[in-house]
């Protein structure tokens, strides 16, 4: 059985400002983001990871470095498939303003009919496809190993929950993964998955501010 540990990056300045994160924007971790990643590292200090896969974006890589500070892993791979969902022209702009755009508003209120083409965004179908391809590759290539995946809120939420059979409507009408949360999937074949841990932030003391 392959065990996949997923961590969403720590809180960033863009998160703190209530702006749209995405595939092309990157800001440093806040103090809360740094402390959250360090806390996740302490939580996983006794876990030996055979491989680590990280998004190409700086906020995820900074989080991975903090998580692994006292738990070094030789095999760390940057994986393009793990970048955050792309929101095109809305990236870096206020979420509150974005909700005034009928097309972007469907991301929150009607995800099954979400069409980001008007602002050059990425579809849910594309995120699901790259997420499931990544999972299948990891499980079939690294059977019976423990891997760490450090990435992003929307991308990891969609990847993990779609692997469990949830529809986009079901996924997006529930809370997304919190910053520096830990989730765990288990699989023998890359097709059938069991959820062993979901959005766990119990190790964060005191609790940090978490923005969607």
Query: Which sequence positions are flagged as catalytic?
Result: 9, 84
Question: What gap in Å lies between CA 114 and CA 107, rounded to an integer?
Answer: 6
Whether omega for the bond prior to residue 193 falls within 30 degrees of 0, making it cis, is no
Question: What gap in Å lies between CA 201 and CA 28, rounded to an integer?
Answer: 21
Contact 47, 145 (CB under 8 A): no
How far out from the chain centre does Cα 101 lie?
A: 25
Closest CA to 158 of 143, 174, 144, 142: 174
Contact 115, 123 (CB under 8 A): yes
Question: What gap in Å lies between CA 33 and CA 9, rounded to an integer?
Answer: 8
């Amino acid at each position: 059985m392959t065990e996949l540990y997923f961590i969403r990056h720590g809180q960033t300045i863009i998160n703190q400002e209530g702006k749209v994160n995405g595939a092309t924007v990157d800001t440093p971790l806040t103090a809360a983001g740094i402390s959250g990643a360090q806390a996740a590292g302490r939580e996983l200090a006794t876990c030996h990871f055979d491989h680590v896969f990280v998004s190409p974006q700086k906020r995820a890589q900074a989080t991975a470095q903090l998580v692994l500070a006292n738990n070094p892993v030789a095999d760390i791979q940057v994986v393009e498939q793990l970048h955050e969902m792309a929101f095109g022209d809305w990236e870096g702009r206020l979420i509150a303003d974005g909700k005034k755009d009928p097309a972007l508003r469907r991301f929150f209120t009607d995800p099954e009919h979400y069409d980001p083409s008007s602002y050059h965004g990425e579809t849910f179908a594309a995120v699901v496809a790259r997420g499931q391809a990544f999972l299948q590759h990891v499980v079939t290539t690294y059977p019976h190993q423990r891997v760490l995946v450090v990435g992003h809120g929307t991308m990891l939420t969609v990847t993990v929950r779609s692997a469990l059979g949830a529809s986009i409507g079901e996924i997006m009408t529930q809370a997304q993964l919190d910053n520096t949360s830990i989730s765990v999937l288990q699989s023998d074949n890359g097709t059938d998955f069991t959820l062993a841990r979901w959005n766990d932030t119990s190790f964060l003391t005191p609790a940090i501010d978490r923005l969607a």
